[in-house]
Chains A and B, each alone.
Chain A
Amino acid sequence: MMEFGMEGCPGSIMQDFRQKDKETKEESGKRQSQLKQWPIQMHLVSPEAPYYQKADVLLSADCVAYSVGDFHKDYLEGKSIAIACPKLDKGQDIYVEKLKSFIDDAKINTLAVMTMQVPCCAGLVAIAQQALQSAKRKIPIKSIVISLQGDVLSEEWVQ
């Protein structure tokens, strides 16, 4: 792995993982998508959608699905999803309200928040916790942190 320049935001440092290709085996066969809904972006989704009712919801930072090789099989299967970028998205107060509605109105079963290891990504967990604190119902929230090369760095219940 090569890093280019060490200054500035850790989330924006240029890195080259091309060497990794040579170390891993190629897999044949086609994997089926586990996505069971549309839309998925946080500003576009509605907590009233039938696939959110009493569901296990995955709130994923935008970059996660590109990083985790088996994202569909290991994390998306059986869940409803919403995606967001806590660094670049505008109007994140709407996200808090929307997640609160997921908890209170859609009565979701659990919320798993997947983020990248870069510091700005932790904002997504904070948004989820803020929503839970303001919600009337309580649900378990799990935080899963992914390394830049797609490995799980930590997986723990935060609420």
Chain B
Amino acid sequence: MEKYLNTPIKELITKFPKVGEILEKYDIGCVPCNVGSCLLKDIMEIHNLPEEEEQELMTRIAKVIYPDREINIPKIERKQKPRTGEIKYSPPIKRLVDEHVLIKRLVALIPDVIKSLSVDSEQDKQIIRNSVKFIRTYADKYHHAKEEEILFKNFDENLDILKVIREDHENARAHVRAMLEGLDKKDKKEIAEHFNAYHELLTEHIKKEDEILYPWIDRNLSITQVGELFSKFNEADEKSDKEVIDSCKKFVKELEEKMQNSKEQEVVK
């Protein structure tokens, strides 16, 4: 079993597809991950399941790998107590979780925006341009920059968990570029395809950060690092253009109202 604890998860899932299914049942989404280089033992440490749940999960994986043998499950080293109940974040990490709220509000509107999109309507095209502006200024420059330029600097940049997150950021940026290309070509299908892909990517990405990455980061930060992060995030916020940030908040609120009105009008019809 020791050998498989030190095997990259993609390799393990390719060899034993049932392992992927088992992980999914414990809300560990390694199957769709494009990187897949995390070792099984690292995944257990990162996800920090309650001890009994982890033993149960490992036993099920062992039965897939060794169907005819009784396997002793080795204890995986933990830096802190396994998680129980509600996740409590340190103040700087809580700020990132709070910033996710506005991004999630925009992401939640994407299916309705796509549904009602007409590339011949100047108003609809403006919604796409404003959405891109929101993504590039608030989600990327304001939020992701705090992660990539400040938070992640506290860790080895080659850590698999950070590679996965950075790849998500890059993929999100690529979808936004493709959306704008689609807009230039007035190609509704292309805009819809990439806006929808952004919707799916960010929904999963934010869940991954809130529930897995951030708790893992909090477990690994010293109190000194928490204080320094808090100061650096304050400095970053002070440097950001408050008017632009406020306009992003206003845009999401207005778009929510517009989509709600459209839905109500449809019901009346």
Q: Which residues of A contact B (CB under 8 A)?
A: 56, 78, 108-110, 112, 138-140, 142, 156-157, 159
Contacts and interface: CB of A to CB of B under 8 A. Distances in A.
Nearest to A140: B91
A139 B227 contact: yes
A140 B234 contact: no
B224 A110 contact: yes
B216 interface: no
Contacts of B231: 109
A138 B231 CA distance: 9
A140 B226 CA distance: 8
Interface of B: 88-92, 94, 223-224, 226-228, 230-231, 234
A110 B226 contact: yes
A140 B92 contact: yes
A131 B208 CA distance: 36
A36 to B, nearest CB: 15
14 contacts: A56-B223, A56-B227, A108-B227, A109-B224, A109-B227, A110-B227, A112-B223, A139-B230, A142-B223, A156-B88, A157-B90, A157-B91, A157-B94, A159-B91
Contacts of A140: 90-92, 223, 226-227, 230
A110 B224 CA distance: 7
Contacts of A139: 227, 230
Given A108-B227, A142-B223, A159-B91, 12 more contacts: A56-B223, A56-B227, A78-B224, A110-B230, A139-B227, A139-B230, A140-B90, A140-B226, A140-B227, A140-B230, A157-B90, A157-B226
A113 B234 CA distance: 23
A143 B230 CA distance: 17
A129 B225 CA distance: 21
